[in-house]
Amino acid sequence: MSLSALERRITDAIAARRDELVALTCDLIRFDTTARGVGDKARDEADLQEHLAQRLRGAGAVTDVWEPVPGEVAGQRLVPAGLGFDGFPQMVARFAGSGGGRSLLLNGHIDVVSPEPVQEWTSGPNAPEVRGGLLYGRGACDMKGGVAAMVVAAEVLSAQGVRLAGDLLVNTVTDEESTGAGGVASVAHGVRADAAVVTEPTGLHVGVAFRGSTLATVTVPGRAAHATAVQPHWTEGGGVNAIDKAVTVLDALRRLRDEWRTRPDHRHPCLPPPNVMVTTMTAGQWEVSYPASARLTCHVTYLPASADEQGCASAVQREVSQAILAAAGSDPWLAEHPPTVEWGPDCPPAEVDPDDAIVGVLKAAGDDLGHGTNVSGADFWSDAVTFNRQATVPTVVAGPGAVNIAHTVDEYVPVDELVACAQAVALTAVRFCGTAS
């Protein structure tokens, strides 16, 4: 499908706003919206949201900027106990359609991960800079560049006098990097559409499947003793090195990971197999003492087919726990003093039918712009999962930049991809929502 005269006018107008698109991305990077934990004070989240709301109101949208109240998200597993929203507003802007068309939601998160180690950046993480066609700064790729692209796409449609038949919504949320609470709050607030695009970094390809993830904390017991003194056997009260015993757990997890990679029930056409990885380990209490315990954090990913009826990782969690305890049973000390396994946050998986309308429209838009768009898995969690599962809105990810550049020192997004993303989003809106006759 080639571009119509209207579509060519829209894409040309976006190309003409290249410098404005870069400037908006830079503006967003300058706001400090580093991801928070429970109890952390707000930074520039409210100022950034109002900045976007003002722009979109100026383009003709009706905007809603609100701070969710705890009751709206109470009991949601992605919202930690004690997390409040004072100073952390969500924003949705609605461009009303003329009627009779499908509605489209554009979503992005405004929080970014910590810029540490700051001293290693070529330019400051909140001091955006373009070098060699790449825009550098914390959040350039993940995902303030994507947010800027969808905002400019909506603004250009309005400026060009395009009246969509269906509503177009632009939704920006907090807390995606830390909890997912902003997306949950938006769904609870009633943000809905017939389909959605989250402009996370995918190199402009369309992501339709997402692995879930959950965290385990494994505590391996030892017995404190003086490191210099010759110790009797543990059955006679001698010291036990918890780090040595943790090797049993590490080996068990490695075997489980290798098994998962070969099992037929852990294969997916768009996603890699599930994985279990130890990401942190702390042990010991004194330099000359046997470590009395070792504490391991394990990151576990799982496929949509492995989720239980509630979309949770209960079966996967049982399998990991059983593998650890079975291995512990082969060690005399651990058999009598088994490790404990505590499960933390559980981010569910999701997938969209590759034949869904939004997938076809978005891919065709990218192809017609010459992107050579692929339909594949997006091997990272995003708010797309929340809209898919909690709002039953078919939601895909497609945005500028590469996810392997996210969270890195000297994070960047190609300026050409910012423009291309805005063009693809605008085309998708025109084709999916339709235009007023």
- Residue 202, both tokens: 């995918």
- When pLDDT is averaged across residues 286-309 and rounded to a whole number, the result is 95
- Residue 71, both tokens: 């009751």
- When pLDDT is averaged across residues 406-417 and rounded to a whole number, the result is 98
Torsion of CA 92, 96, 102, 103, to 10 degrees: 0
- When pLDDT is averaged across residues 47-62 and rounded to a whole number, the result is 98
- When pLDDT is averaged across residues 358-381 and rounded to a whole number, the result is 95
What percent of the chain clears pLDDT 70, i.e. is strictly above it? 100
**pLDDT one-digit tens code per residue, 209-235:** 999 999 999 999 999 999 999 999 999
Q: What is the structure's pLDDT at 75?
A: 82
Which three-class secondary structure state does DSSP give residue 413? Answer: strand
Q: Which amino acid is at 176?
A: E
List domains and CATH numbers for the chain.
5-210+350-433 (3.40.630.10), 212-347 (3.30.70.360)
Q: What is the rounded CA–CA span in Å between residue 11 and residue 427?
A: 8
Contacts of 7-10 with C-beta under 8 Å, sequence gap 24+, read 7/427, 7/430, 9/160, 10/156, 10/157, 10/160, 10/162, 10/423, 10/426, 10/427, 10/430
Q: How confident is the model at residue 437 (pLDDT cuts 50, 70, 90)?
A: low
Q: What is the rounded CA–CA span in Å between residue 421 and residue 424?
A: 5
Instruction: Assess whether pLDDT exceeds 80 at residue 118.
Output: yes
Give catalytic residue positions. Answer: 111, 176
**pLDDT one-digit tens code per residue, 318-334:** 999 999 999 999 999 99
Q: Any idea which residue has 């300058």 for tokens?
A: 30
Q: What is the rounded CA–CA span in Å between residue 174 and residue 107?
A: 11
Q: How many CB atoms lie within 10 A of CB 178?
A: 20
Q: How confident is the model at residue 286 (pLDDT cuts 50, 70, 90)?
A: very high
Measured at the CA of 395, the angle between CA 407 and CA 47, to 5 degrees, comes to: 50
DSSP state of 122: S
Contact by Cβ (8 Å): 58, 140:
no
Measured at the CA of 389, the angle between CA 384 and CA 392, to 5 degrees, comes to: 95
What's the whole-number average pLDDT of the chain? 96
Instruction: Assess whether pLDDT exceeds 70 at residue 316.
Output: yes
Q: Which amino acid is at 31?
A: F
Contact by Cβ (8 Å): 396, 383:
no
- Residue 239, both tokens: 């010291």
**pLDDT one-digit tens code per residue, 163-204:** 999 999 999 999 999 889 999 999 999 999 999 999 999 999
Q: Any idea which residue has 């998986």 for tokens?
A: 349
Which helix (DSSP H) or strand (DSSP E) does residue 362 occupy? helix 357-368
Residue 89 or 309, more confident: 89
The pTM of this model reads: 0.90
Q: What is the rounded CA–CA span in Å between residue 355 and residue 357?
A: 6
Which helix (DSSP H) or strand (DSSP E) does residue 121 occupy? none
- When pLDDT is averaged across residues 70-97 and rounded to a whole number, the result is 92
Beta sheet of 412-414, edge-to-edge order: 129-131, 134-136, 412-414
Contact by Cβ (8 Å): 72, 185:
yes
C-alpha distances in Å from residue 363, one per residue of 53, 294, 325, 368, 389: 29, 48, 46, 9, 22
Q: How many CB atoms lie within 10 A of CB 1?
A: 10
Q: How confident is the model at residue 72 (pLDDT cuts 50, 70, 90)?
A: confident
